Chains A and B, each alone.
Chain A
Amino acid sequence: MLCDVCKTETASVFLTQIVDGKMQKVNMCEACSKEKGVSDPTGFALADLLLGMGAAQPVERGGAEGTRCPQCGFTQTEFKKTGRLGCSVCYQTFAEGLEPMLKGMHKGIKHTGKCPERLQRTQERASAMRDLNEALRKAVIEEQYEEAATLRDKIKALEREV
């Protein structure tokens, strides 16, 4: 198990504290534990350390290992340091921690502005396709073959666009 602070040395100091009714754990190597003053239990608050690392995740949810973005390898520790994320996937990876932050920063957490045209078109096309297929199914059931043929041509045309 690696040290949660430096992420390079093997952890040999294991700490557990109850903060606000939630159990929190941190694993550290010898050097880091000395640096953070762990040897003096009275002057040491695990919560501060965890908050300072940006890894204040209760054990039952994230685990003290710290989440790592599967796409780009970015960690919460980095985020705490720079305030910037690693890639667009990080927004999903760290969604849990980000949500309260976004709520505090912005007016809501749902985007209501511009949407890329192509994305919008894709969505529109998908819904048009659904409608056409449904109409085709109906036409076939009702034996409206002429209409079914027209619908089939429309569907083909739409497929060609993509």
Chain B
Amino acid sequence: MPIRSIFNKGSDWLRSEGPHHQIVVSSRVRLARNLAGVPFPGWAKKVERMDTLEKIRAKVESLPEMADAYSFACQDLTALEKQVLVERHLISREHAAKGAGSAVVMNRRQTLSIMLNEEDHLRMQSIRAGLQLKAAFKAVNKVDTELEQSVDFAFDAELGYLTACPSNVGTGMRASAMLHVPGLVLSEQINQVIQAVNKIGLAVRGLYGEGTEALGNLFQISNQITLGEREEEIIERLQKVILQIIEHEKNARQNLLQQRSNTLLDQIGRSYGTLRYAYGMGSKEALNLLSMVKLGCDLGFYPEEKQHVVDELFMETQPAHLQKGSQKKLATEERDILRAGIIRGKLEGFEPPDVSGAMARVEPKAASAAEPPSSLPDPPMEGSI
């Protein structure tokens, strides 16, 4: 199966709408598993890694869920191809750096991916649109149970599933949701939220996981604890916290509309204008501007059917996605020109924001000209966590 066919087909989770899709972009659950009696990939000799891969790959490919799967050995993929998979969250950045002895198997719909010989022998992940942690867990758990019939996983009655890193031992499960929270960022509440979330043992990260920047007002929230709590409890707790964040985000948006509507509309309008007419655009800038237009969509400033155009652009403007159609590697400047072109093309026929509805809702104070336009901070361009 040529990898090109994946590239031409978007991920299912990206196109469908899940619960709370305006704020929760996606939900993912991954399970880490290792074979009993075999060194973990990071410590195994190359021969051992190849041997493990051979043993496990056929079993993974023969799963009913993987009936129409794509299966790639890491050394057969180019750096660009791997980067596309990273941008789609189908493999990790660490896995993209792997060569011979590692592989990835994913279903056609790109909702299930299994990395072989990443940090652990198996990293199985299920991804869904919107807030669907339970559904994502159910799917990946089913795969795990199926594999368990024929594979002896490293398991200890006390410590549970044994993983290369002690931070994953126990359930081996990491559940996470990607949240789009421009309201919390603009109203400068985001740091408080992050601190509160950290305090209760959950992690907040940027777009591509550990140590990455928070771009486009996108944050990942996930469990840290994997030992001492059941899978269902972990997910339940995470779900509750996410629902609370959704409420905070909704309130923040409402407050911005009511109290600082002029600056809010100004930012959305400027973002729209820049995206619509720019001839050079970096990927960070694009993400941050798209975030504001997405917010505009959520607030009803654009027709509903336009929402998915913006959502797609979030992915299509990422560096590797941008270049997947090109024959050669592009320089940064070439990429920025190409990116701006793609955005202009997609936004053609995208009317300027219609704010009449918003104005009606928040009258009479709404259009108050006395409001200083500087009362809102600039959208964070480099905000990192």
Interface residues of A in 72-129 (CB under 8 A from B): 72, 74, 78, 82-89, 91, 98, 101-102, 105-119
The bracket for how many chain A residues form the interface is 20 to 34
Q: Are A87 and B38 in contact (CB under 8 A)?
A: yes
- Report the Cα distance A102→B226, complex, angstroms: 10
Binds A, one of B9-17, B151-159, B178-186: B151-159
Interface residues of B in 160-196 (CB under 8 A from A): 160-162, 164-167, 169-171, 173
**Closest partner residue, chain A, to B160 (CB atom):** A111
- Report the Cα distance A106→B166, complex, angstroms: 10
A112 and B228 in contact (CB under 8 A), knowing A84-B165, A102-B169? yes
A118 and B159 in contact (CB under 8 A), knowing A84-B165, A91-B169, A107-B225? no
Tell yes or no: B2 within 8 A of A by CB.
no
A residues near B39, Cβ cutoff 8 Å: 71-72, 74, 86-87
Q: In the complex, how many angstroms separate the beta carbon of B225 from the nearest chain A beta carbon?
A: 5
Q: Are A88 and B36 in contact (CB under 8 A)?
A: yes
B residues near A101, Cβ cutoff 8 Å: 166
Q: Are A88 and B162 in contact (CB under 8 A)?
A: yes
Interface residues of B in 125-175 (CB under 8 A from A): 141, 144-145, 148-149, 153-162, 164-167, 169-171, 173
Interface centre among A74, A84, A89 (most CB of B within 10 A): A84
- Report the Cα distance A71→B38, complex, angstroms: 9
B residues near A105, Cβ cutoff 8 Å: 166-167, 224-225, 227
Q: Are A86 and B43 in contact (CB under 8 A)?
A: yes
A residues near B226, Cβ cutoff 8 Å: 106
Q: Are B229 and A107 in contact (CB under 8 A)?
A: yes
**Closest partner residue, chain B, to A123 (CB atom):** B157
B residues near A110, Cβ cutoff 8 Å: 158, 227-228
A85 and B171 in contact (CB under 8 A), knowing A74-B43, A109-B158, A117-B148? no
Q: Are A72 and B43 in contact (CB under 8 A)?
A: yes
Q: In the complex, how many angstroms separate the beta carbon of A93 from the nearest chain B beta carbon?
A: 12
Q: Are B34 and A114 in contact (CB under 8 A)?
A: no
Interface centre among A86, A88, A102, A115 (most CB of B within 10 A): A88
A residues near B364, Cβ cutoff 8 Å: none
B residues near A113, Cβ cutoff 8 Å: 160, 170-171, 173, 229-231
Tell yes or no: B119 within 8 A of A by CB.
yes
Tell yes or no: B303 within 8 A of A by CB.
no
User: What are 19 residue pairs bridging A and B, where the CB atoms are less than 8 Å apart in the complex?
Assistant: A71-B37, A71-B39, A84-B43, A84-B164, A85-B166, A98-B166, A105-B167, A105-B224, A105-B225, A106-B169, A106-B225, A106-B228, A107-B228, A109-B227, A111-B171, A114-B141, A114-B230, A116-B148, A118-B148
Chain A positions near chain B (C-beta within 8 angstroms): 71-72, 74, 78, 82-89, 91, 98, 101-102, 105-119
* 18 new A-B contacts at CB < 8 Å, known A88-B156, A107-B201: A71-B39, A78-B43, A82-B42, A84-B40, A85-B40, A85-B166, A86-B43, A101-B166, A102-B159, A102-B227, A107-B225, A107-B227, A110-B227, A111-B160, A111-B169, A112-B228, A113-B171, A114-B171
